[in-house]
Amino acid sequence: MLQISNKRQLLGVAVLHMFVGLFYLPLSLPFRLFRKKIILGEAKRILIIDAGFLGDTILTLPALNAIKQHAPHARITVLAHPVFGEIIKSNTSVDEIIPVELPWLSHKKGAWKAYWSLLSKLREEKYDIAIDFRGDLRDILFLCWLSGAKRRIGSGITGFGYMLTDDVKLRNSHEFLRMNALAEALGAKVEQQQPTITVKTEVENAVKAMLKGYDLTLLIAVCPGAAYHSKAWPLQRWIQLINTLTEEMPATVMILGGADDTELLKIEPLLKHQPIMLVGKTTLDESAAALNKSALVIGNDTGLMHMAAALGKNTITLFGPTDPHRWRAYGEKSYIISKNMKCCAQGPLHNCKHNRATMEAISVEDMMEKVKEILNLKQPKR
């Protein structure tokens, strides 16, 4: 769920929200007074906007399943990131997934042209219901409202909530619970207690062959990448931690990351023992299969940690300028280490001088203490 914390952006959005509302609210009043509310079970076509990051996508899976269960005869279309849509396809029963890179999130050439083509297609479908899981005013305006859906559900926490027929007021809780609240506002009760994902047998076999020859008795996966520099633990600390894990435990360490995480390749020559280096070498499904073989997964606040938690793995997530109360990996075996300061808890885009300090305050000793607690099956402090 998007959160705006920059003061200039907040002011700009507030002015735009008020200016547009002066025209929109009076003109839309007759439609709002006399429209017929469409019940979920009666809907024939439902559009779901879920084109966020990997962690966001995983957290919405139970809500997507609940919506389909409560509207089994409706055709459900999900707008998803081209890479992360595969997770939805493998773990839900929605009818259609449209891969999309939203132009306000992507700087790729032709993104706006592709958007207008997509919007034309969406309007032709004449959706009965559209639901936005991101809470992004751009999604609300450019997708949810302009799609022409008769009933529009979301949370206008960043603005333009008046363009929704159902502006859901979300309490300050974990993102997983907030996603569920949106589905339940539509009439779909979410039964799943946490997100879960499965690994296909053929993918599991491919990763098994990839890891052949390594000692997997105690396999620890580390995910040192981060979408924002302010959320990343220093590389030197990762090197120290991996060396300690391989010498003291001793463990086999597997390093995962995406194709863009080339900085992580600098770690390997500085390690005392050869790791299983999978940075940029696995698909998303293969990453899941590799994580599934681990006894423990350690990483920054990234999508791979949500994936590990959804696989039921022990996880330790390092938190700095983001609030673990809202964004931690959601699961019974998910643990955190945080040196968060209140001024930094608004997110990595919040310009706080302490953003980096919150990550640098986490020591290798802090990490090893938590690792030993978990692997010794003690009752770790959450």
* CATH match of 7-186 with 3.40.50.2000: yes
> Beta strand 129-132 with 219-223: parallel, antiparallel or unpaired?
unpaired
Summarised one tens digit per residue, pLDDT across range 43-73 is: 999 999 999 899 999 999 999 999 999 999 9
Task: For the chain, give every domain's residue range.
Answer: 7-186, 201-375
CB 187 within 8 A of CB 72: no
Radius of gyration of the chain from Cα atoms?
A: 22
What the block records as the tokens of 240 is 């120290």
Q: CA dist 69 to 56, 112, 168, Å?
A: 21, 34, 21
Residue ranges, the chain, pLDDT below 70: 1-7, 9, 30-34, 340-354, 377-382
The fold adopted by the segment(s) 201-375 is: Rossmann fold (3.40.50)
> What mean pLDDT value characterizes the chain?
90
Summarised one tens digit per residue, pLDDT across range 297-338 is: 999 999 999 999 999 999 999 999 889 999 999 999 999 999
How many Cβ atoms from other residues are within 10 Å of residue 52's Cβ? 23
Same fold, 7-186 and 201-375: yes
Q: Model pTM greater than 0.75? A: yes
Catalogue the long-range contacts made by 135-138 (C-beta closer than 8 Å, 24 or more residues apart). Answer: 135/1, 135/2, 135/3, 135/170, 136/2, 136/104, 137/13, 137/17, 138/102, 138/104
Q: Where are the alpha helices (DSSP H) in 7-92?
A: 7-34, 54-70, 85-91
